[in-house]
Structure 1
Amino acid sequence: MSITKFETMKRFKKMYVFMMLLLVSAFTYGQETIKMTVKENKVPCQGVAPMECLEVKYDNGKDWELFYDHIEGFNFEKGNRYEIIVIRTKRQGIVPADASSYLYKLKSIVSTKPVTKANGIYNTKMILTRLNGKTINSKSVYMTIDPTTETISGKSGCNNFNAKYKKLNSKNGIQISAGAGTLMACNDAAMKVERDFLDAIKDKKYKIVKKKNVVQFKNSKNKTIMEFSIPTQNDLWSYIGKNDWKLISLENVGQDYGRASIKFNIAEKKVNGNSGCNNFFGSYTASGDNSIQFSNIASTRMACLNEEANKTEQKILSFLNDKKLRFDVADQTLNFYLDNKLVMMFGVAK
């Protein structure tokens, strides 16, 4: 029995549709579209090295979760709360141990809502300076109060912590609930400060008093139990300028990078350092939104015989070459971000 031209075309069409379905299935394997709410501030977290993470809620979730990955195409700006649609794709093949199992790509931004500060004490980093009448000089205990979620989070010295609070009827009165934290250990002195601080915020009621850049937590007898400072830009740059900074992590890979380092001359807005093999020098401009741009970067021209050191040098110089970066200081690290991805982390050189 002969096959008509019509039947041949019909079969060809069915085969074409089948092949297209196979191609679409191959391209979308392990892929899904999800809705995420992104909190307006990043928080300290521990990945391969200490870093800052976004906090997100998935779909209609109630609890904030740490987000360690990068969302391609999403430019996060501090102070804005986002609702976004993201395409999440399962990685194929062998996934490195320090990499995520998924790739994330922005599909659309549903909404962007600026979150304003109230009374100057919310959504801002506060560093503990006095506790139970004693001066605290370490700058390793700090916290941020989030009025939207009624949470307090930060670092208690050695560990990250998070606690709930509720507002009381009295003006600027709050009651802090018992919180949770990580369980890393450190030296005895730091652990004692941590225990005293956590005890001071556990199930306690306080009246908060702000005087310029100083925030005091007073008990029912009007005694100041905790005192915090809100760093100014001058404080921040004074701290950056007085220290030598040694590279400890590059593109989230923490290791010993030898001589790689950076030093700032605050008075002259100059910068110098070592990129792995060669010394470099140049200038920089910084703005109040914690952004920085390096310019006129030049370096010596010694041959780099070590392949790893050569790769390190190329990466460092590329980040310092007229790119606008964001920076922050957390504990004793100076961190630089490109498109909200942590690219360089420097620690205070001992």
Structure 2
Amino acid sequence: MKKVSLFLPIIVSLVLQSCGSLKNAKNTEEVFWVSGIKTECSAGAGKMNCLNIYKGNNIADATWEFFYAPIEGFTFEEGMLQKIKVRVERLNAKDVPADASSLMYTFIEKIESHVDIRTYLAGEWNVTSLYNKEFNETTNAPSLTIDLNKNRVSGNDSCNNYTGQISNVTSQSLKIKTVATTRRMCFIMDVANSYNKALGEINTYLIKGNNLIFFNKEGKKIVSFTKSAKKELEVSLGGNWIATRIEGAPINRMVKTPRINISLDEMILSGNNGCNNYTAQINKISESKIVIGQIAATQKMCRDMQVGADYLKMLQSSVSFKVKGDSLKFYNKEGIETISFLKVVK
């Protein structure tokens, strides 16, 4: 009995130490990078925007992975790479809700942060050169939209619309796979074919201001883009307009006045020429230049068809524009005014 009494304090001490060790074993610390981009991911029954993390040391060539769990106390900063330290606690299974992580993450400190260069890729771009062939502002050049949230690219190859998946993107490289296009046949397919070939060869990139340059595996420049001004233009150019002059002459008040709606989100012009409804694709647009696709109109017969015919003819010939407040003017390739509009204020 005395022997048991002598060993009891030792046994209790060992048990307590063991429990303490088990408790501490449940808590660890981790250090990893958090991307400046959240990407769409599948979680449970639906989709959500997930953090992306990288646990390696070569951040310039990082392979990112989804991070589904929340990090208590951490603030995501869009466009910023953050290297952070977190505490990781393993929860008891009985305390974990269904479909939830058994690990709880708590933010400890930010070790370093800097700009996530990849975010400069996001947005809409217009081709300026393709395999050393230069494109001017009036050329129907291919376009590219990069959506980093969905890891997707889309655009128009000068003939067909296309979409593709981004398989990997780092601060220096971008890989595109599974490009699908519509099947429309155009009179000239050379540009479209060359552009689709270039998409498959893209390996690395360089961003200089509003210019984006892609290179192949050999480091040869294959295609260059300039940033689209669509978002800024949507504010001033988008919406409904009513025509006031055609070829510099006021419109006869006795006829129905032509109207136009400009949607840069859909890249479509539509409206009524005073008799028939019409629509046309905007193939390309910049701060002052526009390329209008073939205009299609209904074939209704009206008493006065001349104004409508002149209007569509002038609209089709327009290649540039100027917006000043509530005034919009289109011009042909000689710089002569084709149509003048006033903004329709609701």
TM-score under structure 2 normalisation? 0.41
Larger Rg: 2
